[in-house]
Every structure is written in structure tokens, then in C-alpha cells.
Copies of this chain bind each other. A is one copy, B any other.
């Protein structure tokens, strides 16, 4: 920077101001500085500038599992807008429980970030407090959050939509594939979607049969297991809603492997509109995952610029996508 200053015939302070686009630099000076910087192909050292300005220009993004479809989409969406805003993104993938406890114990984000983005991470009370000792704004995606900004979808609503769709096709006995807490992650979402399922039954006047809800670990193989459990019953349901498309994929596969036709013998609907849902011909309720990341990124940027604003909540719309995995119930009037 000193070289640039010398070449432009100004002080380093002026170079600094110019390069950061501060207003109180004359056009003439600005030109000389920019020229000098270009000639020397100089870029400021972000590290030095962070130390001096006491801002990290970094946001911590913590996800349960970076490689999963949902999370990688959200992260990709957020990455784009954060980079645009000049913020670095520090990814923490918590993976298993031990990584999670270590993370919240040691809080490696201390002194490293200006904001935190949690992606579908329900925080326990102590975890919540731990994060807040960082003293930086927090934005949550993927679930309802209190006390922080958040962007999410209507998790009960999506399930309600799914059930209504099936009921509209004449299905009277609808099973649900739910998940149980894998390390207490996702818990609230599972809960809300289950509530949506129940609400759907209520709205359409169907009876609740608790045995028709089976809970499995998240993932394709969980979906398979759940489907098998449902369809091996003496009185299997004629339709099944799954908490997510990946579970639904497993369900469809399991049904076919059991010799059942989808949707002939059983209809299946998922939630997400996963990249492969079209290929699987899966009826689903679409959510815009990348968009959630983008919006979360915008919230982060706002929060970094104006800390201490009222927590804002953004609920993104969803929509039913009807494909070939659902059909009128067998035996209904043609």
C-alpha cells in the first residue's frame, strides 16, 4: 500500500480511503490512486484490513450435514449473495453429535465472524445461548426461530397441502413417513410436518390412525424401511405422504420391490421437489431451496450493516407439483 501511496503521491490513508470507496476523496486523487494500484496490481490484504477495522467480513454458516441436498443448495444460494456483498463464508458441517457438542463447547466462531447463519439447525437452549455470546446477528433458515431472523416455509402447510391432494383423489387412509431426531436435528420440522398431516386429516374429515405414522431416520433407506412397515400391515394405506422427497424416493422403491405398483396400489407424495423428483415422477410440494439461501444471505447482509434490527421472519411460498406417483384411489368411481 505504501508503494501505491508513493506512486500516487499521497499518503496511505488516502489510498485506503480511495480503495474502500469512501466519499471524501477528490476525483482527481481517486484517479491517480486507482491508476497506481492497477499498475502495481495491488490488492489490499484482507487480513490486515480486518485486524485494523475490527470486522471479520466473514459469516459462519453452520449446517448439520454439508453434503446433503437441502443444505448444499441453501449454502450455494447464500454463498452467491454473501460473496457479492464482500463477505466470506466459513462453513461448519457438524456431522455427528460429537462434532456438534465440540462446536458449541469450544465455539470456534469466536472472534471469527460478523454473523452466523444456521441452516435447519434447531438449537437447544444452551446452544442458543452459546451462539448469542458471540454477540453477532444470527439468521436461521429452515425452521421457525424466535429471537433471531429467519427464513423458512410453512412446514405444516406443505403437509396439509399434500394430504388434501390425496384426499381429493379419494384416499381415505393415508400413511405418513416421518423422521425421528437424528441427534435432535430437524426435530421441529418433523414435528410441524406431522402436525400438518394431522391437520390435513382433520380438514378432510379423515380419522386419525396413529399406526399409520411411522418414524425412521432420515434418508432413502429410512424411506424404504418405513414403506415396508406400512405396506406389510394387514390393512395398508392406499396413499402415503413422506416428510421429504428423499424419504419418498425410498418409499417408491420399496413399494416397487414389494411388487406394488405406484400409483396403482399406493400413491406417494413427498415434500421438496428434489432435483430428481421429476425423474422419479414423484408428486411433491415444491419449496425453493436455493431461494431460501439467497434470502438468508440478504438478511445476513442487512443484519451486518444494521445490527440490532428487529428480528424479521420470511416465509417463502410453496406449491403442489402433481406428477405420476399419485392417482385416484383404486376402487373409486372411474
Chain A positions near chain B (C-beta within 8 angstroms)? 43-48, 50-51, 56, 65-67, 69, 72-73, 75-77, 79-80, 83, 88-93, 95, 110-112, 220, 224, 249-250, 252-253, 275-276, 278-281, 290
Contact = CB atoms under 8 A, between A and B. Distances in A.
Given A46-B112, A47-B51, A220-B279, A67 B56 contact: no
Contacts of A45: 51, 111
Contact of A91 (B48, B69, B91, B220): B91
Nearest to A53: B47
Contact of A80 (B75, B95, B224): B95
B66 A79 contact: yes
Given A45-B111, A67-B72, A89-B91, 6 more contacts: A44-B111, A46-B112, A47-B47, A47-B51, A67-B76, A220-B278
A66 B75 contact: yes
Contacts of A79: 66, 91, 93
Contacts of A89: 90-91
Contacts of A92: 83
A37 to B, nearest CB: 12
Contacts of A275: 220
Contacts of A69: 69
B56 A66 contact: no
A79 B90 CA distance: 10
Nearest to A107: B43
Nearest to A77: B67
24 contacts: A45-B111, A46-B111, A46-B112, A47-B56, A48-B51, A65-B76, A66-B76, A66-B79, A67-B75, A75-B91, A79-B91, A79-B93, A80-B93, A83-B92, A88-B90, A89-B90, A220-B276, A220-B278, A220-B279, A224-B279, A249-B276, A253-B281, A276-B276, A280-B280
Given A253-B281, A276-B276, A279-B250, A76 B93 contact: yes
A278 B66 CA distance: 21
